[in-house]
Amino acid sequence: MAQQEFALDPPQHADTVPKWLDTGACVLRGLAIARAVEMIADIRRIARGAPFRRMPTPGGGVMSVAMTCCGAAGWCSDSHGYRYVARDPRTDRPWPPLPDTWRDLATRAATLAGYEGFVPDTCLINGYRPGARMGLHQDRDERLDAPVVSLSFGLPAVFRWGGPRRTDPLRRIPLLHGDVVVWGGPSRLVFHGIAPLRPGAHPVTGPCRYNLTFRRVWQGDE
């Protein structure tokens, strides 16, 4: 059923010319398709060293999205707030390294979008199961002069994209397996979120969506 629908989809091609969504933000449809199987295997390996976990929020809740990180820094949420830390608080070990192949793909996507010299030092890996969602937020815990590069794998999601104010009207943009989005410049601080994931089965990820966001957090070797 869902499995067959995906199997019957025409093969997605990879855009290397960005489609601009707004000033500073563009999508490169399918750019990560060719690396999907290998990167999903990488995600599973990384998660053996730094397991996916649903993090507590400062407001007293628990996120519906499961997260892990790799790279020199990792994003954490707890009852005190949000921050980047050099070690996984759950294991007290450094986060697994950011694979060179991942870093190179993020740099290539940023370059295609016109952001030269983007070298991420962290990747936040979000794992969505049906029903998981991400509320409207801004990303402001990392360097704001660097773009964010996002890769989507597995089940499709509806991205909610607002403006610089929480109350700005929302656009809805589908994010599909292999899609890459680059957010920088005036789009870096837009409010955004993900609508609750619809049930389904993807041939590569099963009942799951992964989103990888590459960011620059630290300047040197702090």
Least CB distance to ligand MD3 at residue 53 (A): 15
Q: How far is the CB of 192 from Fe ion (least distance, A)?
A: 6
181 binds, among Fe ion, ligand MD3, none (CB under 5 to 8 A by kind): ligand MD3
Contacting residues toward ligand MD3, per CB under 6 A: 124, 126, 134, 139, 148, 150, 157, 159, 181, 183, 188, 190, 192, 194, 211, 213
Residue 108: CB minimum distance to ligand MD3, A: 18
Burial of 37 from C-beta contacts in 10 A (0-12 / 13-18 / 19+):
exposed
H helix or E strand, kind and range, residue 181? strand 180-183
Q: Which residues of 75-99 are buried (b: 16+ CB within 10 A; e: fewer)?
A: bbbeeeeeebeeebeeeeebbbebb
User: Considering beta carbons, is residue 121 or 139 the nearer one to Fe ion?
Assistant: 139
Pairing state between β 74-78 and 134-137: unpaired
When the beta carbons of 70 and 190 are compared against ligand MD3, the nearer one is: 190
Binds 76: which of Fe ion, ligand MD3, none (CB < 5-8 Å by kind) = none
**Which segments of the chain does DSSP mark as H helices, in order?**
2-8, 36-49, 100-112
In the bound complex, what is the minimum distance in angstroms from residue 142's beta carbon to ligand MD3? 9
